[in-house]
Amino acid sequence: MNRIAILAVIAVLMFGSSATAHPDSINRVSMAPGQIALEVTGQVDNSGTPAPLGSSTQFGYLSFANGIPSIFTDSNPANQNEHTAVFTFVTEVNTERVTANAANGGPFSIIIRTGTTTMYLASSGADFTDPASFASGTPIQVSEIRQQVIVDNAEKTFTVENLNTITSSVPFTLNGARFQLGGVGEGFRTSLVGVLTVRSGATPPPTGYFGGYAVGVAPATRRQSAKGPF
């Protein structure tokens, strides 16, 4: 065997297998500006406490996470819901201001809230009949949130814009690979559309239902959210 061939064999022995020998390498869900990072489905329970303006708990699951190929435990789309979701979330926010835009018959209430969103790697199937089940897994990301909700009191619908800034994000293992939902200091903006339970004549809880998606935001936008902070 000539010298070049020997060196090639040594290189293969030393480095050739290393491409598959990195179990600790981390695949990160990107929060690049303008890129859809997450899609969410959830429900909301509002409360009159603490006084004077109350609070809100919003909970649900991720139906898409950019870069993670399988986020349900069942491959059948008909069975992909809160029971089979791999990732769940809970947002806890307090209401800071409610503005009625009702002049000349306007139907809107504009609500500002701040608080925290926690995302979980689910330990078992969640269930919308049990809001606490969405927080039963392992926390993998925490973010501070500033939320604007616009309620159409005539139609009993609402839209939501959330600005989240990640304060904690830890790697986790899923299907033998390592992942991480963004990094500390990164941010994402969530746009949601929802309907109030009372629209159908039902009685809360829940207060309402929502769905939507999140995109990454530019660093300048994150710095503007001085409240620091879904």
**pLDDT one-digit tens code per residue, 91-106:** 999 999 999 987 777 8
Q: Is there a contact between 180 and 28 (Cβ–Cβ < 8 Å)?
A: yes
Structure tokens, 135:
């927080």
- State the average pLDDT for the chain: 87
Structure tokens, 17:
């297998």
Q: Are strands 26-29 and 177-181 parallel, antiparallel or unpaired?
A: parallel
Task: Write down the pLDDT at residue 12.
Answer: 34
- pLDDT over threshold 70, residue 8: no
- pLDDT over threshold 60, residue 115: yes
Task: Write down the pLDDT at residue 127.
Answer: 98
Structure tokens, 67:
């870069």
Give the sign of the dihedral formed by CA 69, CA 73, CA 76, CA 78.
negative
- pLDDT over threshold 70, residue 112: yes
> What is each CA distance from 201 to 140, 159, 198, in whole angstroms?
37, 20, 5
- pLDDT over threshold 70, residue 17: no
Domain residue extents for the chain: 24-224
Q: Is there a contact between 88 and 137 (Cβ–Cβ < 8 Å)?
A: yes
| pLDDT average, residue stretch 51-65 | 97
